[in-house]
Amino acid sequence: MSKSFLPGSYILIIAASGRMLAQSAIRAGLRPLVIDLFRDQDTLALSSACLRVQALTLAELLPQIRNLQKRYPVSEAVYGGGLEREDRILDMLQEKFLLHGNTPDTFRRVLDKDCFFRVLTRLHIDFPEVTWSRPADPPGWLIKPCRGQGGMEIRFSTTVPEQEETDRGCYWQRWIDGQAMSALFLADRTRAALIGFNTQRSVHLDSRQRFVFSGLINRVVLPGRARKKITDCLERLVPALSLTGLNSLDFIWDGQQIRVLEINPRPSASMLLYDADYPRGLLWEHLRSDVPGLPNIAAPPRGWQILYAPAEQRIPVALQWPQWAADRAGGGSLIRTHQPICSIIASGNCPGEVFDKLRSRKKIMIDTLRKGR
């Protein structure tokens, strides 16, 4: 970590949603300056400044960054999700700031699917079969964007030719039955420290968005051999890809075999379910990337779920949000169809109890919005 990170130092956060990183920055004693897509009530309350952009592009971000640089003495930056299709932003951030997390080159190497799957093959790590041209038996395959995020635009292939998909930078991956899971870990370019396993959930929004990420539950226990398989994978992948800071590994577990799907080379959504367990938060650990110094912490399971708008929704001005709701849109905001309204958080004694609480609270939130209270 840079020596400039004294209590009260500013840090620039750029992500699709900055609330998670801003909340952790406060716990680290830092003062977050956030640029994101939502500027929700939670992020506004946490940040020294919070600016909204319509898209995470260089054209949108540069004026806002200059604005913050004029107003605050900020020299260091961190990024979250949402930059997968605009990695040039990382080059710009590296030029203007001390950028924490994976370097732009590492970020690109991990997201280059051809490169990533070749690395998995070389390291003898199992993954579902992939192809870069339309398979002969398309119904048994998924179409995935090469630079996707949050499961957007993943769907089943069909018997109808879809040549446009290859033109847009997609690939096919064979469908595998099993539980979608992830492993949150801290890396220092040579070693990895596992933080925890999570079950992932998705929601079917429309015909083009069949597997949109909708939440997760942490503290999931895997059998010893499965856990060892993941730790062995991380021991090989971290030095091969030069990963640093917080990352997550997505995989499928069918009860017998683990198959790797991808790595998210930045702090993932699962970070927020573990952050409270660390005295100075996980952003502090991300900035330090001190793998041997990461404590091994046991805590009750937590869950997090995104509530998407089934139709266009105006948030009531006087809405009384429950304490377990986060990422809360401002009163009067217009939420478009399939856009996030808020997040729902729950904890419990076991993952099953957490799941039941999330389901119950989702219903309460939908009823509350319908009644406009």
Structural domain ending residue among the three candidates 113, 144, 175: 175
Contact 78, 90 (CB under 8 A): no
Three-state SS for 354? helix
Interatomic CA distance for residues 322 and 333, integer angstroms: 18
Exposed / middle / buried, residue 68 (Cβ in 10 Å: 0-12, 13-18, 19+) = middle
Q: Which CATH number do you get for residue 96? A: 3.40.50.20
Q: Are residues 95 and 144 in the same domain?
A: no
- Does residue 312 sit within a domain? yes
| Tally of domains within the chain | 3
- Domain finish residue from 117, 149, 175: 175
Backbone angles phi, psi at 51, to 5 degrees: -115, 145
Burial 254-285 (b: 16+ CB within 10 A, else e): eeeebbbbbbbbbbbbbbbbbbbbbeebbbbb
Together in a domain, 133 and 89: no
Question: In sequence order, which residues have a C-beta less than 8 Å from that of residue 316 and are 6 or more positions away?
Answer: 331, 369, 372, 373
Partnered with residue 250 across adjacent β-strands are 182, 262
| Residue carrying structure tokens 């398979």 | 135
In a domain, 111, yes or no: no
SS3 label, residue 362: helix
**Tokens standing for residue 190:** 């040579």
Cβ proximity of 26 and 46 under 8 Å: yes
DSSP 325: E
Pair 143, 130: CB distance under 8 Å: no
d(CA 329, CA 316): 10
Q: Distance (Å, rounded) from C-alpha 103 to C-alpha 217?
A: 29
Give kind and range of the element (H or E) at residue 46: helix 41-46
Give domain status of residue 119, yes or no.
Answer: no
Residues 139 and 95 in one domain: no
Strand partners, 197: 183
List the chain residues with pLDDT less than 50.
Answer: 1-3, 164
Domain range for 146 is 129-175
Residues 78, 19 within the same domain: yes
Task: Pick the closest to residue 78 from 289, 244, 287 (CA basis).
Answer: 287
User: 337: closest CA among 311, 370, 366, 315?
Assistant: 311
Residue 150 backbone class (left: φ over 0; alpha: ψ -120 to 50; beta: rest) = left
- Asked, for residue 339, whether it belongs to a domain, the answer is yes
**What is the per-residue pLDDT for 41?**
95
| Global pTM value | 0.94
Residues 137 and 63 in one domain: no
| Structural domain contains residue 108 | no
Judge if 88 and 146 occupy the same domain. no
- 191: how many CB neighbours lie within 10 A of its CB? 16
Give the per-residue pLDDT at 281: 96
The structure tokens listed for 302 are 């937590």
Q: For residue 1, is it within any domain?
A: no
In-domain check, residue 264: no
Please list, in sequence order, all residues whose beta carbon lies within 8 angstroms of the beta carbon of residue 200, skipping any fewer than 6 positions away: 180, 181, 182, 213, 215, 216, 250
Domain's final residue, options 146, 175, 204: 175
User: 261: which DSSP letter?
Assistant: E
Residues 91, 144, single domain; the answer is no
What's the rounded Cα separation, in Å, for the pair 226 and 222?
Answer: 6
Residue type, 149: Q
Are 136 and 90 in a shared domain?
no
Q: Say if residue 17 is in the same domain as residue 93.
A: yes
8 Å CB contact between 52 and 33 = no
Per residue in 232-276, pLDDT (tens digit) is 999 999 999 999 999 999 999 999 999 999 999 999 999 999 999
Element (H, E) at 166: helix 163-167
Burial of 296 (0-12, 13-18, 19+ CB in 10 A): exposed
Residue 59 lies in a domain: yes
141 and 96 housed in the same domain: no
**Contacts of residue 106, Cβ cutoff 8 Å, sequence gap at least 6:** 241, 242, 243, 244, 265
Closest residue by Cα to residue 175 from 140, 204, 202: 140
Question: What is d(CA 123, CA 118) in angstroms, rounded to the nearest whole number?
Answer: 9
> How many beta carbons lie within 10 A of that of residue 151, not counting itself?
21
